[in-house]
Amino acid sequence: MNLTQRRVPQVFGLGRSSSIRSFKSIDSSSSTHGIHVFQCPDAVGIVAKLSDCIASRGGNILGADVFVPENKNVFYSRSEFIFDPVKWPRLQMDEDFLRISKMFDATRSVVRVPKLDPKFKIAVLASKQEHCLIDLLHSWQDGRLPVDITRVISNHDRFPNTHVVRFLERNSIPYHYLGTSKENNREDEILDLVQNTDFLVLARYMQLLSGKFLQRYRKDIINIHHGLLPSFKGGHPSKQAFDAGVKLIGATSHFVTEELDAGPIIEQMVIIVERVSHRDNIQSFVQKSENLEKQCLAKAIKSYCELRVLPNEENRTVVF
């Protein structure tokens, strides 16, 4: 392997980081792509053991990213490699990485082989606004998102002949209308519908999920928010930003926690807006915002599925 560049993962704080790329040629006709992420207390020899594990089974590392936060005794890594599944069976791979996990007392060791492993199963929750929902559905249909959408749940009733409902019917994706009120947030019913999912996506779902729901679901939930958090939290963030006269339109994708719009950030995007004049209005502002929200949410989901997002302390993430 050759040390060809250094790249700092998207993470708040300082630390040492390295990126390794390998260009050894192997027979691509028999090779399969794998991903491994690792988190453990920092120690000498971790990279060597991980590399030897892959090489000893005839695999070849395509890229390895490492991050160790400054003054923190924790090691993060993400490796991409190719291997021959005949020489290195999937179950054997799990056993090999598990052995290293025990050796270094790892808190996280996840291996994924996209070609062999099932796609992540997700449910999408949405309200009346459809721009993020429609973009996710079309990205899923085009194969740009490595997920299976099991169902769409909404607190907004859509008529049978609408674009979204017709799309879902054509693709055999169930649609569940669960109207909410202050007295009944329908969380028990939502929980029953999403039990077999790997994570949830809130595509502009304008309802708060309670701490009780989060504790019972116990898996990750990805949300999209207009604006660069922590600014403009809560309802009507586009109007808040427009009224504040911002010159940058932003969007933030983050994990859902009990604190409103305060979960660990996965992805943020901005675009520069022309200076506000008498020709500008809230409609043009919202249109630009919605386009950015779609891109930001899709990128966050893709990064999550590619095992690029690791938790870093209570309210931060490492994004390789």
Which amino acids are annotated catalytic? Answer: 261
Amino acid letter for position 223: N
- Cα–Cα distances (Å) from 95 to 26, 53, 100, 205, in that order, read 24, 11, 9, 40
For residues 107-129, b (16+ Cβ closer than 10 Å) or e, as one string? eebebbbeeeeeebebbbbbbeb
Nearest partner of 252 among 297, 311, 284, judged by Cα: 297
In this structure, the strands spanning 199-202 and 120-126 are parallel
Q: Is the peptide bond before 146 cis (omega within 30 degrees of 0)?
A: no
Give SS3 for 221: strand
